[in-house]
Amino acid sequence: MNALDVNGLRFSYPDGTNVLDGVDFSMRAGERVAVLGPNGAGKTTFVLHLIGILRGAEGSISVGLGDDTIAEIRRRIGLVFQDPDDQLFMPTVYEDVAFGPVNFGLEGDLDGRVGRALAAVRMEGAESRAPHHLSGGERRRIAVATVLACEPQILVLDEPSSNLDPAGRRELAEVLAGLDVSILLVTHDLPYALQVCERAVVMNHGRIVADGPIAEILSDPEIMSANRLELPAGFDPRSFTR
């Protein structure tokens, strides 16, 4: 069964600018997919549709089984913002991680939800700490925990490796590798996408223009050139092993 099905999604801004032009996309339960593409390709608009912030003029979005009300879709698709400071605003880590379940009316066994989410991101014992006293990598992992506490079916991450030092990048990648959840990773960091995901889709001009194993896409010079995608000098995606 697919975790997510998007069919014929179209969206234009009031000035007539066409941003999504018939997006068709699906991902299996447990799959990890990178969404790549140049600035202005429609990636952010696509994500905002997935979490119900924007509504397409045409098309449909279905998330696994269950009702597809906006509230339920927002619970089943959890977004981790690029800047954790946009997601962490409570005095303690516990309150931040508990905020989502309380907001969605999932208070039952709240301590258990918070504990499981913190364990999943390797931050056990941090409940009483102040988020602003944590390192950048720790705040990023707590931001992931705030979403995991709602037990989503799909975890969407917006540029998760930005502003992290090498150790923080590695620790977050290890955490993501251990999660039992579908992952949609939106990023310009192509080596990190390769490290976390096995599949990639490339968006441009509001459409998905390429879809396949991520190492093959990153090794295709025509796809890379046509969509303004560039790897670091000397980086060979074909030689990467997980």
- Closest CA relative to residue 96, chosen from 148, 53, 48: 148
CA distance 117 to 152: 11
Averaged pLDDT in 10-residue chunks for the chain of 242 residues: 92 90 95 96 93 86 73 85 93 97 87 97 97 96 97 95 94 95 96 97 96 97 97 90 74
Distances (CA, A) of 59 to 43, 55, 75, 216: 16, 9, 21, 29
- Specify the pLDDT at position 76: 87
| Entry pTM | 0.92
The pLDDT value recorded for residue 239 is 86
Q: Rounded to an integer, what is the distance from CA 109 to the centroid of its chain?
A: 26
CATH numbers and ranges of domains, the chain: 1-64+154-163+186-233 (3.40.50.300)
- Please state, in angstroms and rounded to a whole number, the distance separating the CA atoms of residues 63 and 132: 34
